[in-house]
Structure 1
Amino acid sequence: MGIDRAEVKKFLRNWANTESKPHFAVLVEGRWGCGKTHFVLQLLEDESFTDRKPIYLSVFGIPDVQSLETNLFYASAGSLTKTLHKGAGLAGSIFSGALTLGSGGIFGGTANLNKIVDAVTSQLEQSSTNMDGALLVLDDLERCQIPMSELLGVVNRFVEHGDTRVILLANTDGLKDNHFIAFREKIVGHSFFLESDPDSALASFVGEIGQTDVRGLLEYYEQDIRELYNKSGFHNLRALRQFVWQLATVLERMNEDYRENDELVRNLIVQFFIFFIEFKLDLAEESASLTPLDLLGQYDEGKDEVRHVYEFSFDKDKEPTPKKRIFNKYEQHNGIRTVITVQQWIAILTSGVVDAARLNAELAQADEVAGVGSWPSWKRLWHFYEWDFSDGSEPGFWSDVEDMQSNLGCGSYVEVGEFLHVVGVSLMLAEHQLVDQTVPKTVKTMKSYIDGQFIPALTYERCRGVVERFGYQLESYDGLGFIGREGAEFKEVLNYLVEKVEEWHQAWLRDDAGKELLGLLTDDWIQFIGNLKVTNHPSEQRYLDIPILATIDAGAFVDAWFKLSRREERLVVGSLKDRYEHHPALLDKEGLWWRSVQEELMRRVANTRSKPRNVQIKNLVKHINSSIIEKWELRQFQEFSKGGLADVGWMTRTRIGD
Structure 2
Amino acid sequence: MANEIAERVVAKYLTVKKPGYALMLDAPWGSGKTHFIRKVTDHETNETRLYVSLFNVHTAEEFEWALVRALKPWSEQTEKWGKRISEFVSGVTVAGCSVDLTKVNMTEIAFDSLPDTLIFDDVERCGIDPKQLWGLINGFVEHEGKRVILVCNSVKGAKKKQLAAIREKLVGQVVTIEPDIGAALTTVWVRLPDGPGRKFLQLRQDVIRETFADAKHNNLRLLLRALRDAVDLIDQIAPDMRTFHEPLERLVRTFLALHMAFHEGRISKEDLVNRGEVAIFHSLGGGDENHPLHLLKRDQVKAEIDAAYNTVFSAELGRKLIGDGYASYAVINEALHETHQFRETEAKSDWVRLWEWADEDETELIALEDRIAQRMQRFEITEPGEILQLYGAREFKGAYFDDFCSKENAREFCKYIHELDNRELLPTRLPATTRDREGYGFDAEFGRIIYEGRAFKPDLRARVLVRLLKQKMDAAYERALPDVAAQLFADLRSDPVAFREQLEAQAGVHNYSYAAILHHLDVADVARILLRYFIEEREITAVLVFDTIGNRTSPHRQGLAEEQDWIAALKQELERQAGNVSVICLAQMRLFLQRHMRAE
What is the TM-score normalised by the length of structure 1?
0.56
Equivalent residue number for residue 43 of structure 1: 40
Q: Distance in 1 between matches of 2:252 and 2:564?
A: 58
Aligned to 1:189, the other structure's residue is in SS state strand
Aligned residue among 94, 108, 118 for 1:136: 118
TM-superposed deviation, 1:170: 2.0
Work out the CA distance in 1 between the residues paired with 2:462 and 2:33. 59
Kept after mapping to 2: 8 A contact 1:57/1:139: yes
Does 2:297 align with 1:319? no
Structure 2 vs 1, CA of residues 38 and 206 (structure 1 numbering), >3 Å: closer, same or farther? same
Match of 2:415 among 426, 448, 472: 448
Q: Distance in 2 between matches of 1:207 and 1:167?
A: 29
Among candidates 332, 346, 356, match of residue 383 of structure 1? 356
Match of 1:372 among 345, 368, 384: 345
Amino acid at match of 2:51: Y
Counterpart in 2 of 1:32?
A: 29
Does residue 270 (structure 1) correspond to residue 253 (structure 2)? The answer is: yes
Output one character per residue of 1:188-238: Cα deviation in whole Å (capped at 9) or x when no partner: 222234444545544554466574986554332111112212232333221
Matching residue's letter, 2:4? A
Q: 1:357 to 1:525 in 2, by over 3 A?
A: closer
* CA separation of 1:399 and 1:29: change in aligned 2, threshold 3 A: same
Partner-residue secondary structure (3-state), 1:32: coil
8 Å contact kept, 1:202–1:240: no
User: Which whole-Å CA distance do the structure 1 matches of 2:328 and 2:514 have between them?
Assistant: 37
**Aligned residue for 1:421?**
389
8 Å CA contact retained: 1:44, 1:54 = yes
1:67-82 → structure 2 map (5 Å cutoff)? 67-77=62-72
* 1:322, distance to aligned residue in structure 2 (A): 4.0
Amino acid at match of 1:378: W
* 3-state SS of paired residue (1:62): coil
- Alpha-carbon separation, structure 1, partners of 2:239 and 2:177: 39
Decide whether aligned partners of structure 1 residues 24 and 419 sit closer, same or farther in structure 2, where only a CA change above 3 A counts.
Answer: farther
Contact residue 26 and residue 190 of structure 1 kept, 8 A: yes
Offset of residue 427 of structure 1: 5.0
Aligned partner (choices 441, 446, 460) of residue 491 of structure 1:
460
| 1:266 to partner: Cα distance | 0.9
Q: Count how many residue pairs are aligned between Structure 1 and Structure 2.
A: 475
Q: Structure 2 matches for 1:87-236, cutoff 5 A?
A: 91=81, 94=85, 124-133=107-116, 135-173=117-155, 174-176=157-159, 179-181=162-164, 183-198=166-181, 201-202=184-185, 205-206=188-189, 209=192, 211=194, 217-236=200-219
Answer whether contact 1:36 1:169 (CA < 8 A) is retained. Answer: yes
In the alignment, which residue of structure 2 is the partner of 1:23? 20
Shift of 1:240: 0.9
Structure 2 Cα separation of the partners of residues 524 and 148 of structure 1: 67
Structure 2 residue aligned with 1:469: 446
For the residues of structure 1 that align with 2:140 and 2:553, how far apart are their CA atoms? Answer: 66
C-alpha displacement of 1:378: 0.9
Shift of 1:184: 1.9
The change in CA–CA distance for 1:378 and 1:259 in structure 2 (over 3 A counts) is closer
Deviations 1:356-410 (A, max 9, x none): 7886787778745422233221110122221124xx7468525642476268x34
Counterpart for residue 57 of structure 2: 62
1:142·1:171 contact (CA, 8 Å) conserved in 2?
A: yes
Using the alignment, how far apart are the partners of 1:296 and 1:552 within structure 2? 34
State the SS of the aligned residue for 1:319. Answer: coil
- Displacement of 1:253 in angstroms is 5.6
Cα deviation code 1:314-333 (max 9, x no counterpart)? 85234265445545543434
Retained in 2: the 8 A contact 1:339–1:363? Answer: yes
Rounded to whole Å, the distance in 2 between the matches of 1:423 and 1:442 is 7
Q: Please report how far the alpha carbon of residue 7 of structure 1 lies from its aligned counterpart in structure 2 after TM superposition.
A: 1.8
Aligned-residue offset at 1:14? 0.8
Paired letter, 2:19: P
In structure 2, distance between residues paired with 1:202 and 1:361? 31
- Rounded to whole Å, the distance in 2 between the matches of 1:376 and 1:201 is 43
Mapped to 1, the partners of 2:317 and 2:462 lie a distance apart of: 36
Q: Given the superposition, is the C-alpha separation of residues 260 and 25 from structure 1 closer, same or farther in structure 2, using an over 3 Å criterion?
A: farther
The one-letter code of the counterpart of 1:141 is V
Secondary structure class of the residue paired with 1:73: helix
Q: SS at the partner of 1:461? A: coil
| Contact residue 124 and residue 154 of structure 1 kept, 8 A | no
Distance 1:379 1:524, change over 3 A: farther
Q: Between the two proteins, what is the percent identity of the paired residues?
A: 20
Q: Which amino acid aligns with 1:55?
A: L
| Corresponding residue of 1:10 | 8
Are the structure 2 counterparts of residues 145 and 212 from structure 1 closer, same or farther at C-alpha, using a change threshold of 3 Å? same
The separation in 2 between residues aligned to 1:447 and 1:267, in whole angstroms, is: 37
CA shift, 1:334, in A, is 5.1
Structure 2 CA distance, aligned partners of 1:329 and 1:374? 35
Give me the whole-angstrom Cα distance separating, in 1, the residues matched to 2:388 and 2:65. Answer: 69
1:290 pairs with one of 250, 269, 278: 269
What is aligned with 1:600? none
**Aligned-partner residue type, residue 124 of structure 2:** E
| Unaligned 5+ runs, structure 1 | 96-120, 298-308, 530-547, 560-658
Opposite residue 36 of structure 2, the aligned amino acid is F
Distance 1:125 1:366 in 2: 68
Q: Determine if contact 1:295/1:346 at 8 Å carries over to the other structure.
A: yes
Distance 1:271 1:430 in 2: 31
In structure 2, relative to structure 1, the CA distance for the partners of 1:431 and 1:179 (3 Å cut) is closer
Partner residue of 2:227? Answer: 244
Asked if the contact 1:132/1:162 (under 8 Å) is kept, the reply is: no
Whether contact under 8 Å (1:33, 1:238) holds in the other structure is: yes
Offset of residue 72 of structure 1:
1.9
Q: Which amino acid aligns with 1:227?
A: E
Question: What does 1:611-622 align with in structure 2 at a 5 Å threshold?
Answer: none
- Find the residue that maps to 1:191 and give its secondary structure: strand
CA distance in 2, matches of 1:528, 1:329: 47
Task: Sort the Cα spacing of 1:311 and 1:326 in 2 relative to 1 into closer, same or farther, 3 A.
Answer: farther
**Residue 412, structure 1, aligned to residue 382, structure 2:** yes
Kindly tell me: are residues 6 and 426 of structure 1, through their superposed partners in 2, closer, same or farther at Cα, counting changes over 3 Å? closer
Q: What whole-Å deviation, never above 9, does each CA across 1:591-641 have from its counterpart, x for those lacking one?
A: xxxxxxxxxxxxxxxxxxxxxxxxxxxxxxxxxxxxxxxxxxxxxxxxxxx
In structure 2, distance between residues paired with 1:411 and 1:213: 39
**Which segments of 5 or more consecutive residues in structure 2 lack a partner in the other structure?**
87-103, 431-436, 482-512, 518-548, 569-600
Separation in 2, partners of 1:492, 1:240: 46
Structure 1 distance, partners of 2:242, 2:472, is: 50
2:98 is aligned to none
Query: For residues 123-160 of structure 1, what are the alpha-carbon distances to aligned partners after superposition, in whole Å with 9 as ceiling and x for unaligned?
Result: 62221122222x33222222222333443343223222
**Which residue pairs with 1:397 in the alignment?**
368
Counterpart-to-counterpart distance in 2, 1:52 and 1:156? 22
Following TM superposition, by how much is the alpha carbon of 1:168 offset from its aligned partner in structure 2, in angstroms? 1.6
Q: Aligned equivalents of 1:504 and 1:466: distance in 2? A: 14
